Every structure is written in structure tokens, then in C-alpha cells.
Amino acid sequence: MNARTLKSHARVRSIVLRTLVAFAFGMPAVAEAQSTGDVRGAWTADRYLLADGADHAVRGQIFFAEHDWQVLFFVMSEDGEPKRGSGEGGSYERTEDGVVFSHLFNLSVGEAMPGLEEAPLRMVARGPEGAPLEPTRVDVEGDVLTLYFPSGNRMTFWKSS
């Protein structure tokens, strides 16, 4: 199969599976209308708010194209030093209340921080057929994008372009 066919198969797989994934994570497949707005463009990372209440400053950006996404971010210590980092990317499908991320690429490492365990170096590159799916609620209000992950964690970003 060529790349275009694989991408098409990945989109179909995503559409078929997102209801099952949403159900597995206890998220409604069809939710009440949210202020999801247009996610396309570049967004500057601001905060990483963990389900346990920990709140970390982050630096980096997330980019959304028509069906592809990439993020590079660093979780900062209280003294402004990067202690964790992650570069991720793949494709995504819009849903009524957010997106379903398909995780094709990941490079991450990090020290332990409040609410976050130490993370050893991780490098992953996979094809669409093996990519984990992550249903994520999205809220866009003006120039602020918030991603609500299935873990209960969330990240906020400011529109940069």
C-alpha cells in the first residue's frame, strides 16, 4: 500500500474506533456541544495541569494542520529549568467535542516532578496501523486552547499563528 492509502485506512480506522475508545475511557461518543473552535495553526504551550492538582509551567508549541499534528514541549521546574520534554506527532480526526489523536511518533524523557514519575528516554516511530488512539476533549475560547486528556490532565496553549 502507498502512503495515501495507509493514511486513508488510518482515518477510517480512527472513525470506526473512536466510539469504542471513547466508551473504554468513559467518554461519551457524542457529547453536548462544546466551544471547540478551529484548532488548526500554531499554539504556544502555557500550563500543564495534572488530575492530582499539580500545576506546571510548560514551554513549547503544538501545531495542527488539516489532519496532522505535532507537539514539542518542556515541563519547567519552579526555577525555570526544563525537567521533562516530549516531542510527539501523528494524525488526528475531529469529533463533535474534540479530537482523536493517533500517536505515530514520540520522543520523551524526564525527571520526577510533583505529580509526574521519572520517565526514561523513550523513542517510538510506528505506522498508522499500530498507533494508539487518544480521544481528547478540546475547548477553544478566543486565543486559548485547552486539551482535556483521558487521564484527567489538561494542557493550555495560547494562539501564536
Chain segment 92-147, per-residue pLDDT in tens? 999 999 999 999 999 999 999 999 999 999 999 999 999 999 999 999 999 999 99
- Which burial class, exposed, middle or buried, applies to 62 when counting CB atoms under 10 A from its CB (0-12, 13-18, 19+)? buried
Task: Report residue 25's pLDDT band, with 50, 70 and 90 as the boundaries.
Answer: very low
Q: Give the integer Cα–Cα distance in Å for 50 and 67.
A: 27
Domain 3-159 grouped into CATH 2.40.128.280: yes
Extents of the domains making up the chain: 3-159
How many other C-beta atoms can be found within 10 angstroms of the C-beta atom of residue 153?
16
Interval 56-70 mean pLDDT: 97
Query: For residue range 95-110, what is the model confidence (pLDDT) as tens digits?
Result: 999 999 999 999 999 9
Mean pLDDT of the chain: 84
Which of the four pLDDT bands, split at 50, 70 and 90, describes residue 13? very low
Q: Please name the amino acid found at residue 160.
A: S
- DSSP codes joined into one string, 31-44: ----------EEEE
Can you tell me the mean pLDDT for 35-48?
A: 90
